Amino acid sequence: MKWFWAVLIILFSSSISAETITLCSLDRPGLSQKDGTGYYWDLLRAVFEEEGIKLEHSSAPFVRCLKNVDYKEVDGAVAAFKTHERAKKFTYPKSRLNFSSYGLTYLKGTSFDKLESVKGSVGIIRGYDFSSWLPSSLELIYLNDNFQAIKMLKTKRLEYHADDLQDVLLTLKKMGERPNQFVYKTFYTKDLYMLFTKDTRGQNLADKFDTGLRKVFENGTLEILIKEYGLVNSILPDFK
C-alpha cells in the first residue's frame, strides 16, 4: 500500500511540474519577439518556472491576442493597459509587468506647441488605449505594429505616431534605423499588466504571476534582466 501511495505522489508531482501555459504577445523588438526572445519572454519564463509552470509563447497583433484570451485559445496576453471594460472580460494580477512612457514620435522638421495644436495624421496600434489622450480632431491611422509606423513616418504617410517611446526606440534599433532622425515627446506614463482568462484557471495564473515575480526579484533575476536589456523603465522600486 505504501508503494502504491508513493507512485501516486510521484505521478501527481510530475503532472504539476509539467503544467504548460500559452501566452500571446504582439511582436515587440527587444521585449516580446515572435521567436520567443526578449525581456518579457525571458522574465515570464523565469516567473512561471518558479511556480513549476512551463511557458509557451505565441505571436499575433495585439487585438487578436486579446480575442484569443477572451475565447480561451491562449491563457493570457502580455503588456496590456488595465481598463474598466477589460477588467470585466479578463483577470489581472496585482503586480504590474512594466509601465509605459508614451507620447508622439515624429520626423525632425515637424513641430507643434502643445498637444492640442497637433495637426495631421497620427498612427496608433490597433487595440491600444492611446486615443483617449489625443485630441478628437486628429486623423487616427490604425496600424499593426511599430515597424509599419516607422516606415510610414519615413515616407511621410504619417506625421506622428502615438506609442510607448521605449518600444519605438527598440524597434528602430532592430530595423537598423537612426534614432536621431526622429523627435520623441513624452506625455503620460501608464502601467502595463499581464491579463489572463476570466475563470478559475486565469485567477490561479494571475496569483502565480504575483508570487513568481516576487521570487525573481528576491533571487536577483529581475534586476539582471533589466540591466541585460538596458530598459529605461523599471519595476524594481515596486519591491523595495
Can you give the residue range of the structural domain that contains 147? 99-190
Q: How far apart are CA 91 and CA 167, in angstroms?
A: 25
Comparing 205 with 6, which gets the higher pLDDT? 205
Domain-embedded: residue 29: yes
Q: What is the reported pLDDT for 22?
A: 98
**How many Cβ atoms sit within 10 Å of the Cβ of residue 219?**
12
Domain-embedded: residue 221: yes
- Rounded mean pLDDT of the chain? 89
Domain-embedded: residue 168: yes
* Pair 103, 179 in one domain: yes
φ/ψ (deg, to 5) at 178:
-80, 120
Q: What is the reported pLDDT for 8?
A: 46
Among 190, 210, 231, the domain-final residue is 190
Per-residue pLDDT at 239 exceeds 60: yes
pLDDT per residue as tens digits for the range 30-68: 999 999 999 999 999 999 999 999 999 999 999 999 999
Q: What is the DSSP track for 148-167? A: HHHHHHHTTS-SEEEEEHHH
Q: What is the reported pLDDT for 7?
A: 43
pLDDT per residue as tens digits for the range 14-26: 444 569 999 999 9
**How many CA atoms within 13 Å lie on the side-chain side of 213?**
21
Per-residue pLDDT at 187 exceeds 90: no
CA neighbor of 134 nearest in space, from 146, 147, 118: 118
Q: What is the reported pLDDT for 100?
A: 84
Detail the DSSP E strand segments found in the chain. 20-25, 54-59, 76-80, 90-91, 98-107, 121-125, 139-143, 160-164, 182-197
Q: What is the reported pLDDT for 14?
A: 45
Residue 219 near residue 88 (C-beta atoms within 8 A): no
Lowest-confidence region among 55-59, 141-145, 196-200? 141-145
Q: How far apart are CA 125 and CA 145, in angstroms?
A: 6
Q: What is the reported pLDDT for 132?
A: 72
Longest dimension (CA), the chain: 80
Domain-embedded: residue 148: yes
pLDDT per residue as tens digits for the range 97-139: 999 888 999 999 888 888 888 888 999 998 776 667 788 888 8
**How many Cβ atoms sit within 10 Å of the Cβ of residue 158?**
24
* Pair 30, 66 in one domain: yes
CATH number at residue 53: 3.40.190.10
Mean pLDDT of 186-191: 88
Q: What is the reported pLDDT for 4?
A: 46
Q: How far apart are CA 113 and CA 60, in angstroms?
A: 36
CA neighbor of 130 nearest in space, from 157, 163, 107, 156: 163
Report the DSSP pairing between strands 139-143 and 98-107. Answer: unpaired
Comparing 12 with 95, which gets the higher pLDDT? 95
Comparing 187 with 153, which gets the higher pLDDT? 153
Rg (CA), the chain: 20
Q: How far apart are CA 193 and CA 167, in angstroms?
A: 15
* Pair 111, 66 in one domain: no
Domain-embedded: residue 229: yes
Using H for helix, E for strand and C for coil, what is the string for 44-85?
A: HHHHHHHCCCEEEEEECCHHHHHHHHHCCCCCEEEEECCCHH
Comparing 41 with 7, which gets the higher pLDDT? 41
